[in-house]
Structure 1
Amino acid sequence: MIHETRLIFWSHLRANLRNPAWAVIMLMQPLLYLVLFGPLLENLGGAYADGSDPWLVFTPGMVLMIALFGSAFAGFGLVAELRSGVVERQRVTPASRNALLLGRVAKDMTVLVAQAVVLIGIAIAAFGVRPDPLGMVATLALVALVGVAFASASYALALKTRSEDGMASTLNSLTVPLLLLSGILLPMTLAPGWLEALSRINPLSHTVDAVRAMFASRFDTAEVVTGTLVTLAFAVVLGYVGTRTFQRENA
């Protein structure tokens, strides 16, 4: 299965490299937030309970925005492959059904991590952001896990809906609440109590707390432990859902 996964991975990665427009487009939204919205936060340092640097709060949020939207919309490519018969041709090969999913998810993880590195590099060069080096590496690891979770779910949704319209309506209904209740744009500690309590239901909010703590060198906090465990569990659950769906739909 490893060999088959590698073949699927390289096939899809080469396709991305030949036409990198989608990866660039997905990078542009958080980059615009960083450039146009980030400077507005420079006077909000005192608004944070611990006096955190707003850039160390905002930048990791933008990194996770890439992970959320880049992976959640990955399934649109699979819909196109279903329509063109690519998946049908793969079904008649002896390739493992798990490899068909894992190769695609591995490609999405690679692209997401590359985009995150570019965004962090721009934040460092243009805005003087100084993240903890180990925290930055740990953040990229959590970005990869978020990519596994949402890409797997997105491919499962693509196999179920088999249409861009069905996927778009479903994803918009899910990703917008996930974004707003995660604290990606602003920490939920600034929200009223009821809204902050509601955000705790969102697994992504714990990931956001973890990467912000790690960016600021606060590794000995409960946020890091909770966020890492929740993200890992989320990736395992949605990865299992994606795998089972691929097995059933491609049997």
Structure 2
Amino acid sequence: MTEQTRTTTTTQREAPRIVTRTGPGKFFADTAAVFTREILLVLRDPFTLIFSLLQPLIFLGLFGPLLTGTFGGGFGAEGASTADTLQWFVPGVIVMISLFGTSMTGSNLLYEVMTGSYERVLATPLDRSAILVGRALKEFAPLLVQGLLIAVVCIPFGFTFHLLPALFGLALLGLFGIGVGALSLALALASKNREWLFWGVQQSLLFPLLILSGMMLPLEAGPSWMQTAAKFNPLTYMVDAERVLFGGTFADTAVLWGVVAAAVTCAVGLLVGIRATRKAV
């Protein structure tokens, strides 16, 4: 054996073996990588996070006084009226944050498609499903922070904060938000090169869902057709569940229906989103 052959053989023996993950291990690792990338972009641009926190506080300040007649008191009044108003309204505002944030997830993807960065992501060995799930999971972290901050800000004004039920409610919203975010990403992929289509569909669906959920105003005083339509709105069950949970109660059928609505939305969203992501070129 020559010296060159001996050196080549030794090098081959000493070369480290590259272990390629497959199956669930690769999926979870790729999902973590995509989530880390996406959340770092949020942390580098905190202005967007701050602005999205100010918006629901403005809703609290403006809509709160309008609800005083419903609860028999003023938003700034002393006693139970203020607490009742906040206890009813704050969970709806937190659901609104989730809906607004996750439904606009696709807008970031549209920007990446226009700049060509999304094609570079698709060229990597990342699992296509992990790309979508990681992006959708990114919406949960800001939601958790924003929801807790809003609840804490309202405590001095009479809002009663129950930690464990509230955390469960935020986790439930995270599950729901993954589904909505996945649907938003699928819509963005379907609207590629037609940005107007994404915003047209998103805005056309967003506000009817918001109004028909009883998020801002109670539906009990509305017409019967509106109350019937609300029963087919998954957001209605999410709002009802969040109000019960933020009220400190787990044992309520509204919570069960909220879990069902969140799970179904998440499953449908991931099914549609993963299929759209795998077809993307």
TM-score, normalised by the number of residues in structure 2? 0.82
Report which of the two structures shows the higher radius of gyration computed on alpha carbons.
2
1:201 is aligned, of 220, 227, 232, to 232
Match of 1:84 in 2: 115
Q: Where do residues 6-155 of structure 1 align in structure 2 (5 Å cutoff)? A: 6-46=32-72, 53-125=84-156, 127-155=157-185
| Alignment length (residue pairs) | 246
- Structure 2 Cα separation of the partners of residues 10 and 105 of structure 1: 12
| 2:221 counterpart of 1:190 | yes
Between the two proteins, what is the percent identity of the paired residues?
34
Query: What RMSD over aligned residues (CA atoms) do the two structures have, in Å?
Result: 1.9
Structure 2 unpaired stretches of 5+: 1-26, 74-80
Q: d(CA) in 1 for partners of 2:266 and 2:280?
A: 21
Q: Please tell me the residue identity of whatever aligns with 1:248.
A: K
Shift of 1:149: 1.4
8 A Cα contact 1:181 1:205, kept in partner: yes
Residues 69 and 54 of structure 1: is their aligned pair in 2 closer, same or farther, counting only changes over 3 Å? same
Aligned partners of 2:106 and 2:185 also within 8 Å: yes
Cα drift, residue 28 of structure 1? 2.4
Deviation string, structure 1 residues 68-125 (Cα, Å, up to 9, x no partner): 0100011110011111111111122111111111111111121222222222222224
- Kindly indicate whether the alpha-carbon contact (under 8 Å) linking 2:173 and 2:262 is maintained by their aligned counterparts in 1: no
Residue correspondence of structure 1 range 171-182 to structure 2 within 5 A:
171-182=202-213
TM-score by length of 1: 0.91
Asked whether the equivalents of residues 209 and 235 of structure 2 are also in contact (C-alpha less than 8 Å), the reply is yes
Contact 1:153 1:238 in 2 (8 A): yes
Give distance in 2, aligned partners of 1:57 and 1:214.
Answer: 11
Cα distance in 1 between the residues matched to 2:232 and 2:105: 24
Which one scores higher on RCO, CA 8 angstroms, separation ≥ 6?
1
1:246 and 2:246 matched: no
Contact 1:98-1:243 at 8 Å conserved across structures: yes
